Amino acid sequence: MRALAEMLSAGDVTSVELVQHYLDQIQSTDQDIKAFLHVDREGALQAAQAADERRKAGTPLSPWDGIPIAVKDNICTVGMPTTCASRMLKDYYSPFDAEVVTRIKGAGLPILGKTNLDEFAMGSSTEYSAYQITHNPHDLTRVPGGSSGGSAAAVAAGLCPWGLGTDTGGSIRQPAAFCGVVGLKPTFGRVSRWGLVALASSMDQIGPMGRTVEDVEILFSLIAGYDQRDSTSCPDSGYEFGNESLGTLAGIRLGIPEEFFGEGLSPEVAARVREAVRRMEDLGAEVRPISLPHSAYSIDTYLTLVTAEASSNLARYDGVRYGLRVEADDAVSMFKQTRTKGFGPEVKRRIMLGTYVLTASHHAAYYEQARRVRTLITQDVESAFEEVDVVVTPTTPSTAFRIGEKQDPLQMYLSDSYTAIANLAGIPALTLPCGKDKLGLPIGIQLMADHFREDVLFWVGRMLERSLKEADSSGRI
């Protein structure tokens, strides 16, 4: 991103030329990948023209003024549809911008369009979109991950330089790993959720996706910060880009939880992650074995809580307050027919599960028990960060699977088995590519740090990324 900013500053390229380049790429390539649900050609070019005029006048809004971006379609944007990839919100136009959209516009970033996702962000493959299935740019027969699969695929395919996604249980990190890009799930409360269509309000978080750790850090610095309209927003939560990483990882303590390297993990994924750990050790980091004893319950806990919160949050889509309305002879029939037609099968499944665990007869056995286990998981994480600075795990158990391969919902849910713990504990987590499998599919490594220590993640991530690139250029990996 620095290179693009320098070219814009020097006048070697204009923002209009840059935006047009990406629009041309979308037109020629996205018919196969299907990353975008909506492309705002006119709006993006108008924003680019304004950016060029500001640069000519010497008043750019930021060093990144004029560099375009893509936004996941569950984040509200004025002038573009916000459908959440659902028939329930077909043709819905928000009357306001989400806070993160206000911030990126305030930095001068033209928005190319809205990217595809699993309906209402419920899924791990972007196969559950009501409109189209997104394909992985590395292999069009495979999924890009989800639910932010559209943003991940767009960045990986060169359809945009960076993008915004959302992460409730791994929905930034898992698709980033599958597509071979970098993604950050920030500390809960560090990025405003105002204008994000809610899935699970105690875990949802908007975050950046890009091709390099530095690109993700830059975008994070633009969107992080306190917002009084978000009741979960944390004061003094801004982030300033510009702190250079040190030349080594000396003083960094890496924790390796062996619970994440057991049954169900692809041997190729395990090998690449352990190689990356050894590389960080060569850079001066101290490696320590640690234990997160309750992590085995993280996916069950996450699914119980996320379905309960989804059931509550999606109750508003009833044909009266929001979205689609199917007329019927009476109110009950109207509710039933509206929700039957408006929601897809995965959304219905999660609403039913969530409603079940919230019923009076099952509330204590499921929902309250899950909340207690969440506390235990959080305590495990807090104890770990008393001993180490960064916890290192694989991002996903495997590389990208084939479209249509996981028909069993439980198998699909296991795609988030290594990522959900960060959402339950509210900590930041970064994924970056650490190699490929024998089929050439990307493998991701996950770095987790204590609350508000994104700076540590970026430092370690940059150093590892540099080491991996040097090894790749020399042919050692």
Out of 86, 125, 147, 298, the active site residue is: 147
pLDDT band at 266 (very low <50, low <70, confident <90, very high): very high
Residue with tokens 């069950």: 300
User: 81 - beta bridge partners?
Assistant: 93
3-state secondary structure of 103: helix
- The structural domains of the chain, ordered by start, are 1-290+391-477 (3.90.1300.10)
- Cα–Cα distance for residue pair 207/193, rounded to 1 Å: 10
**What pLDDT does residue 470 have?**
87
Out of 86, 124, 129, 171, the active site residue is: 171
Q: Are 441 and 269 in contact (CB under 8 A)?
A: no
Q: Which two tokens stand for residue 35?
A: 């990353």
Which whole-number Å values give the CA distances from 243 to 214, 221, 426, in the listed order? 11, 11, 24
pLDDT surpassing 60 at residue 476: no
Q: Which two tokens stand for residue 282?
A: 């060569």
**What pLDDT does residue 242 have?**
79
Min mean pLDDT across 26-40, 50-64, 243-257, 385-399 is at: 243-257
Crossing angle of helices 15-33/2-10, nearest 10°?
140
Residue 147: active-site member:
yes
- Cα–Cα distance for residue pair 67/19, rounded to 1 Å: 8
**What pLDDT does residue 273 have?**
98
Residue 151: active-site member:
no
To the question of pTM greater than 0.85 for the whole model, the response is yes
- Cα–Cα distance for residue pair 188/181, rounded to 1 Å: 22
- Cα–Cα distance for residue pair 407/140, rounded to 1 Å: 18
**What pLDDT does residue 322 have?**
80
**What pLDDT does residue 474 have?**
59
Which whole-number Å values give the CA distances from 469 to 200, 209, 399, in the listed order? 37, 19, 20
Q: Are 165 and 72 in contact (CB under 8 A)?
A: yes
- Cα–Cα distance for residue pair 304/31, rounded to 1 Å: 37
3-state secondary structure of 447: strand
Q: Are 236 and 138 in contact (CB under 8 A)?
A: no
Each residue of 284-295: pLDDT tens digit? 999 999 999 999
Strand locations in 320-473 (E): 390-394, 429-436, 442-449
In terms of Cβ atoms closer than 10 Å to its own Cβ (0-12, 13-18, 19+), residue 127 is: buried
- Cα–Cα distance for residue pair 155/163, rounded to 1 Å: 7
- Cα–Cα distance for residue pair 301/306, rounded to 1 Å: 9
- Cα–Cα distance for residue pair 211/157, rounded to 1 Å: 10
Encoded amino acid at 301, one letter: T
pLDDT surpassing 60 at residue 477: no
Out of 72, 114, 185, 406, the active site residue is: 72
Each residue of 201-239: pLDDT tens digit? 999 999 999 999 999 999 999 999 999 999 999 999 999
Which whole-number Å values give the CA distances from 272 to 12, 267, 415, 449, in the listed order? 39, 9, 18, 21
- Cα–Cα distance for residue pair 432/423, rounded to 1 Å: 18
3-state secondary structure of 114: strand
> Length of the chain in residues, anyone?
477
Each residue of 113-151: pLDDT tens digit? 999 999 999 999 999 999 999 999 999 999 999 999 999
**What pLDDT does residue 14 have?**
98
**What pLDDT does residue 471 have?**
80
**What pLDDT does residue 472 have?**
75
- Cα–Cα distance for residue pair 437/279, rounded to 1 Å: 18
Helices in 58-98 by DSSP H: which ranges? none
Q: Are 359 and 312 in contact (CB under 8 A)?
A: no
**What pLDDT does residue 207 have?**
98
Q: Which two tokens stand for residue 38?
A: 């909506």
Q: What percent of the chain has pLDDT over 90?
A: 94
DSSP β-ladder status, 429-436 and 390-394: unpaired
Q: Which two tokens stand for residue 218?
A: 């830059």
Each residue of 173-192: pLDDT tens digit? 999 999 999 999 999 999 99
Which whole-number Å values give the CA distances from 149 to 197, 242, 245, 411, 419, in the listed order? 17, 29, 30, 18, 15
Residue 72: active-site member:
yes
Q: Are 301 and 367 in contact (CB under 8 A)?
A: no
Which whole-number Å values give the CA distances from 230 to 190, 191, 197, 313, 451, in the listed order? 10, 9, 13, 16, 18
In terms of Cβ atoms closer than 10 Å to its own Cβ (0-12, 13-18, 19+), residue 171 is: buried
pLDDT surpassing 90 at residue 246: no
pLDDT surpassing 60 at residue 8: yes
